[in-house]
């Protein structure tokens, strides 16, 4: 790490983060250069970075540089996989990073960085892979510590569950099934001028017959730095829980629905709609989409998702 970060920082400072195919030396660089589609995606990502960096000065530019260096380091660690998986890894990471950089360039720079847990190994012969990214709010005017701790701890706890424990079935030392894994990625959204919403998708396998996929959400009020649950979005006397239960119940049959809808992580507040997420053991994977126009009378006027 001590060598990678300064070298990556120097490359970025010289005007780009794309691979120089005339000097490709690593397996990842050669893979990118060998496939025109990957090289084009890498150039597009680098162009998005350069366009955003060109708008910034001072602390904002330094923050972006540090975040891009960290992302390049994590990409190098995560995409050291089998050759048939490397292209997919590079394509998806460059695509997601391009979208993130373009999102960061909309309006005032928000000082949000990408953090990640990237590691792999074996326990008692069972391989595991962790590739999980999550956002961190770095703005200095309000205290985001509680929200950041929640994002980091939820990711860490989910990731640690795919590290096989001492009781994991390794078929007597002859384990040859799929690697245990935890993969997580996110997108950011602005449902209102004073809020950022994280939509976090995950795909996990902890042994057994099936894995689990799903989506969770976190809404952060930029005025307070706090994570906000549905009770902070909807009017307290509007019977919002009853109305959401009625809407969702028309499309999904799962017990204790009203109790499930009290859980803040079910809520993903996008720019134009609310998404409520359920996993495959609750009648899904399934997402109920509700346009804000349908919810307008229930919303707080001064809330993070304004009426």
pLDDT digits (tens, 9 = 90+) for 124-150: 999 999 999 999 999 878 999 999 999
The CA distance from 204 to 218, in Å, is 19
pLDDT digits (tens, 9 = 90+) for 254-300: 888 999 999 999 999 999 999 999 887 776 658 899 999 999 999 99
- Nearest Cα to Cα of residue 210 among 241, 178, 252, 258: 178
Rg (CA), the chain: 21
The CA distance from 270 to 288, in Å, is 13
- Nearest Cα to Cα of residue 206 among 245, 173, 157, 172: 157
A 10 A CB-CB count for 281 gives: 11
Q: How confident is the model at residue 84 (pLDDT cuts 50, 70, 90)?
A: confident
- Nearest Cα to Cα of residue 188 among 105, 78, 306: 105
pLDDT digits (tens, 9 = 90+) for 239-258: 999 999 999 988 787 888 99
The secondary element (H helix, E strand) that includes residue 150 is: helix 145-160
The secondary element (H helix, E strand) that includes residue 129 is: strand 126-137
pTM, whole model, 2 decimals? Answer: 0.90
The residues spanned by each domain of the chain are 1-109
CA angle in degrees (0–180, nearest 5) for 169-170-176? 130
The CA distance from 84 to 87, in Å, is 7
């Amino acid at each position: 790490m001590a060598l990678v970060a300064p070298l990556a920082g120097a490359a970025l400072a010289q005007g780009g983060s794309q691979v120089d195919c005339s000097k490709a030396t690593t397996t990842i660089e050669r893979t990118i250069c060998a496939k025109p589609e990957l090289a084009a995606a890498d150039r597009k990502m680098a162009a998005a970075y350069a366009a955003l960096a060109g708008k910034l000065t001072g602390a904002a530019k330094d923050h972006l540089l540090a975040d891009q260096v960290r992302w390049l380091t994590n990409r190098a660690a995560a995409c050291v996989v089998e050759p048939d998986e490397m292209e997919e890894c590079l394509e998806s990471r460059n695509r997601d990073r391009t979208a993130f950089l373009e999102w960061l360039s909309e309006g005032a720079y928000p000082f949000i960085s990408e953090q990640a847990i990237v590691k792999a190994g074996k326990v008692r012969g069972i391989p595991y892979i962790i590739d999980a990214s999550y956002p961190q709010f770095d703005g200095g005017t309000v205290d985001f510590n509680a929200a950041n701790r929640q994002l980091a701890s939820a990711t860490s706890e989910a990731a640690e569950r795919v590290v096989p424990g001492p009781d994991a079935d390794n078929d007597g030392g002859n384990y040859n099934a799929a690697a245990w894994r935890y993969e997580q990625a996110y997108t950011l959204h602005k449902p209102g001028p004073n809020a950022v919403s994280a939509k976090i998708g995950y795909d996990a396998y902890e042994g057994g017959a099936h894995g689990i996929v799903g989506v969770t959400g976190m809404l952060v009020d930029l005025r307070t730095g706090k994570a906000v649950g549905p009770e902070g979005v909807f009017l307290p006397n509007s019977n919002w829980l009853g109305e959401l239960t009625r809407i969702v119940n028309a499309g999904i049959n799962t017990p204790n629905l009203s109790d499930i809808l009290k859980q803040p992580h079910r809520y993903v507040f996008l720019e134009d709609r609310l998404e409520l997420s359920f996993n495959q053991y609750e009648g899904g994977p399934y997402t109920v989409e509700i346009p804000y126009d349908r919810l307008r009378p229930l919303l707080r006027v001064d809330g993070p998702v304004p009426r």
